[in-house]
A and B are shown apart, each in its own frame.
Chain A
Amino acid sequence: MGLAKRIIPCLDVDNGRVVKGVQFVDIRDAGDPVEVAKRYNEQGADEITFLDITASSDDRETTVHMVEAIAAEVFIPLTVGGGIRTCEDIRRMLNAGADKVGINTAAVFNPEFVREAAERFGSQCIVVAIDAKKVSAEGEPDKWEIFTHGGRKPTGLDAVEWAKKMVDLGAGEILLTSMDRDGTKNGFDLGVTRAISEAVHVPVIASGGVGNLQHLVDGVIEGKADAVLAASIFHFAEYSIQEAKETMHAAGIEMRL
């Protein structure tokens, strides 16, 4: 078998708890991050992404401890994102046991940070997270724009061009979230996923909107994503990782079963 497509459960962590909201509001509690990570590891998750959605620096310390606790027990790759703004932030997370870091807003305000981070730590651990929203009207050619602050602030940046720029600066992977779809359970925005997958040579992780297992299949086959990220369908035990893998495998996708 060649390279398998990946399923990545995502832990949005606020104040030391896994939470999940609809389009970043209406938050529900989904448990203790270490316990949740262990469960996904046992179910055969290919990686785990940990998104720190708290803003305060006190909570940042909690995050470091949590990453340490997860890395001590879960022997699959761990990506940590949220609030990564400096090389020092990256160093702390890697030292705590993260394998990759996700850079989001900081890349928008200072694209050179991506270059600096990739040169210092290597492209293989720099994931640039892109939050995109469709801005073209019905009937117009498709166009997606980068948004920051949980999808509230437009930046005027074209999402596909931005992804290419991030890869040129050294991003080793793109985590693409559709802000229109996030939390809706209506499936990935396959248009933007495919547009970015075809525009860059690094792996693309599709995120935002998974409501059932067919959505994961669509993300890989139609969206051409290399990995699919989902949160709530796994957190609330609607589906196990194993079921998701079996469904994707049955659809002809190479999976690690």
Chain B
Amino acid sequence: MTQSLKVALIDYGMGNLKSIKNVIAHIGEHEVLLTADPVEIDQADVVFLPGVGAFGDAMKNLRARNLDAILSEQVLVKKKPTIGICLGMQLLFERSAEGGDHQGLGWIPGHVEYLDLPAGFRVPHIGWNDLILEQDNPFFAGLGADSNFYFVHSYHAICDPQYLLATVDYGMKVTAAVQKDNVVGMQFHPEKSQTNGLETMRRFFQWAQEYRHA
């Protein structure tokens, strides 16, 4: 019997909140709260950082709501299970080169750069790509040959292999998923990756429950 989690879906004016809310509702076990409120975030079990758009704007929006400091305490001090999706994943790193040089949240060592691909590979990288597992992890194991997920992005994270859970082959190794302790990042959109996406979300919450109670 799984225990219901309180999920703080961080509302900072960037993006796909509705789609993520829909998926969590569809999974059905957890309570999801769209919030930027420090008290509500503090009461939550899980921090969910969505994000669509530009890195610089996203950081500006987080800072304007003091969420960089609020979330850092939840993530680094209280060690809450945390997930960043797409741009939300890129924000987990120290810097990004998107539209200049921007400082990120810095929860995972590494930086974000433009997809500098060989000729013939189109950017944005849009569509379904199979994951290549870089190390054992609870999120993607055993999905088989059809471990495809939906990507749409022009930048990706560069980090030490110890944080790399999965990559995809798109003219080069493109970072698909990362983890450092309680912080997980997924470049693809699990909320838009049909069966595999739903399964991955279920597994993330299962991992979060175990992490909370470990």
- A residues touching B (Cβ–Cβ < 8 Å)? 1-6, 41, 46, 68, 71-73, 75-77, 94-97, 99-100, 119-125, 172-173, 201-203, 226-227, 256-257
**How distant is the Cα of A123 from the Cα of B130 in the complex, in angstroms?**
23
Residues of B near A125 (CB, < 8 A) are 52, 152
The number of chain B residues with a CB under 8 A from chain A is: 39
A68 to B22, CA, bound (A): 10
Pair B54/A119 contact, Cβ less than 8 Å: yes
Query: Interface on chain A toward B: helix, strand, loop, or mixed SS?
Result: loop
Which residues of chain B come closer than 8 Å to A121, judged between CB atoms? 52-53
**Number of A-B pairs whose CB atoms are under 8 Å?**
107
A68 to B18, alpha carbons, bound, how many Å?
9
Q: Assess whether B175 is interfacial by the CB under 8 Å rule.
A: no
Q: List 29 A-B contacts (CB under 8 A).
A: A1-B145, A2-B129, A2-B130, A2-B169, A3-B170, A4-B128, A4-B148, A5-B127, A6-B127, A41-B194, A46-B127, A71-B18, A71-B22, A75-B22, A75-B193, A75-B194, A77-B150, A77-B192, A94-B52, A96-B18, A99-B152, A99-B192, A120-B53, A121-B53, A122-B52, A123-B154, A124-B153, A173-B126, A256-B146
Distance A46 CA – B146 CA, assembled complex (angstroms): 13
* Chain A: minimal CB distance from B154 (Å): 7
Kindly state whether residue B97 has any CB partner on chain A within 8 Å.
Answer: no
The CA-CA distance from A201 to B87 in the complex, in Å, is 21
Q: Which of A2, A77, A122, A202 contacts B170 (CB 8 A)?
A: A2
In Å, the complex CA distance between A71 and B20 comes to 10
- Encode contact with A along B175-203: 1 for CB under 8 Å, 0 otherwise: 00000000000000101111001100000
Contacts of B52 in A (CB 8 A): 94, 121-122, 124-125
**Does residue B75 face the partner (Cβ distance < 8 Å to A)?**
no
Is there an interface contact between B18 and A256, defined as CB atoms closer than 8 Å?
A: no
Residue of B52, B169, B170 with most chain A CB atoms under a 10 A cut-off: B52
Chain B contacts with A in 109-125, Cβ cutoff 8 A: 122-125
Any chain A CB within 8 A of the CB of B135? no
Which of A46, A75, A202 has its CB near the most chain B CB atoms (within 10 A)? A75
Report yes or no: B124 in contact with A123, Cβ–Cβ below 8 A: yes
Q: Is B137 an interface residue (CB 8 A)?
A: no
CA gap between A31 and B119 in the complex, in Å:
43
Q: Once the chains bind, are A4 and B129 in contact (CB under 8 Å)?
A: yes
Contact, CB under 8 Å: A76 / B194: yes
Bound Cα distance from A226 to B128, whole angstroms: 11
Contacts of A94 in B (CB 8 A): 15-16, 52
Q: How far apart are the CA atoms of A125 and B25 in the complex, in Å?
A: 24
Q: Are B54 and A75 in contact (CB under 8 A)?
A: no
A46 to B196, CA, bound (A): 13
With A75-B22, A122-B54 already in contact, 18 other A-B pairs whose C-beta atoms are closer than 8 Å: A5-B127, A6-B128, A71-B18, A71-B22, A72-B26, A75-B23, A76-B193, A76-B194, A95-B17, A97-B18, A119-B54, A121-B53, A172-B152, A173-B124, A201-B122, A202-B122, A256-B146, A257-B146
